[in-house]
Amino acid sequence: MRSTKLYQYQLPVETGIILRQRRLKQREGFIVHLLDNGRSGWGEIAPLPEFSHESLADVEKELRHWLDIWQSGQSEHLDQYSPSVAFGLSCALAEIEQTLGEKGNYQTAPLCYGDPDELYAKLNQITGEKIAKIKVGLYEANRDGLIADMFLEAIPDLKLRLDANRSWTLEKAVQFASKIATNRKHRIQFIEEPCRTPELSRQFALENQLSIAWDESVREPNFLVKKEPNLTAIIIKPTLTGSIQKCINLIQQAHQQGIIAVISSSIESSLGLTQLARFAHQYTPNTLPGLDTLNLMQYQLLRPWQGSTLPLATLDSEFIWDI
Ligand SMILES: O=C(O)CCC(=O)c1ccccc1C(=O)O
Ligand SMILES: [Mg+2]
């Protein structure tokens, strides 16, 4: 006996996060609850504006279609559906099938949007491996370089992940690199997509002895995981990528070639984020995931993130409703 429930949610977002061109005022998506012979599974489907290609309306249609089929006892290959749908449904199914472990990796790389004092405060709370992630390319490249180098100098056991989201010209990227002391460059674990194109990012990395990671590239058609000089990691954002199985394939291809796979957030609610923490614990146990986005929201949804003091919105709250 199978039954399903579909909910929609809307959560207010702290001060309005800027995604590419757009200011996000609220995070919206769907929640599915699947029941199968007394077993239960939850999934969050939340396409990210400016990043996902599917709209909320597309997602609702796909979900209703899949839920009908599943309820009648059939199944369909999830990766025919939009990535956010495939990921959320695969989480719900994995909970039913008990293939997603309970234990999560809640130690994530603290994320800094440019205020050094804020990052100092966060770093002081870390007990394990000191890795932080700084968004670069939002301000002057020289300034980004000075700040990154200052952190590396001030905290000798710190490693940095930087994320430029393809924003630099080669010249800007070189300006950034010129501010990093040569003997500290190896403590930049990677820069995600420094330049406008992958070709320029490769050239930049080689010429400036810096490591890079693919993020946007991973989601381009025909992407293949391939070791290349100076490439240390690929970033996997499951909501933008697809089913758990598709993400596992990418992780395995990376690991076989000695490339780090970093599980990263697409600003899901605490429901999706805790599932990502569990997924990361299970499939990338030696890597700190990039999931420090819960505090962009004013509430958690249905499940608490370990250690978070944000209020928890439940099914009877104003933020979630049946559809
Ligand atoms: O990867 C992380 O550490 C946090 C998530 C993050 O940076 C992100 C979240 C949503 C959309 C884009 C990005 C990005 O990598 O630029
Ligand atoms: Mg990125």
pLDDT tens string 134-190: 999 988 999 999 999 999 998 899 999 999 999 999 999 999 999 999 999 999 999
Q: What is the rounded CA–CA span in Å between residue 313 and residue 317?
A: 6
Is residue 237 annotated as a catalytic residue, yes or no? yes
90 and 128 housed in the same domain:
no
- Report which protein residue has its CA nearest ligand 1's atom 16: 165
Q: In ligand 1, which atom is closest to the CA atom of 266?
A: 10
- Report which protein residue has its CA nearest ligand 1's atom 6: 265
Is residue 135 annotated as a catalytic residue, yes or no? yes
pLDDT of residue 117: 83
Q: In ligand 1, which atom is closest to the CA atom of 19?
A: 11
pLDDT of residue 323: 94
Q: What is the ipTM of this complex?
A: 0.96
138 found inside a domain: yes
**Bridge partners, residue 57, by sequence:** none
105 found inside a domain: no
pLDDT of residue 286: 95
Number of domain units in the chain: 2
301 found inside a domain: no
Residue 71's CB: how many other CB atoms inside 10 A? 15
Q: What is the rounded CA–CA span in Å between residue 182 and residue 65?
A: 55
Q: What is the rounded CA–CA span in Å between residue 276 and residue 279?
A: 5
pLDDT of residue 128: 79
Helix H segments across the chain? Answer: 56-71, 83-96, 116-125, 141-154, 170-178, 198-208, 238-241, 244-256, 270-283
pLDDT of residue 14: 80
Which residues of the chain fall short of a pLDDT of 50?
none
CATH (domain of 273): 3.20.20.120
246 and 197 housed in the same domain:
yes
Give the range of the structural domain holding residue 54, as residue numbers without chain letter. Answer: 2-100+310-322
pLDDT of residue 176: 98
133 and 78 housed in the same domain:
no
pLDDT of residue 127: 78
- Report which protein residue has its CA nearest ligand 1's atom 3: 290
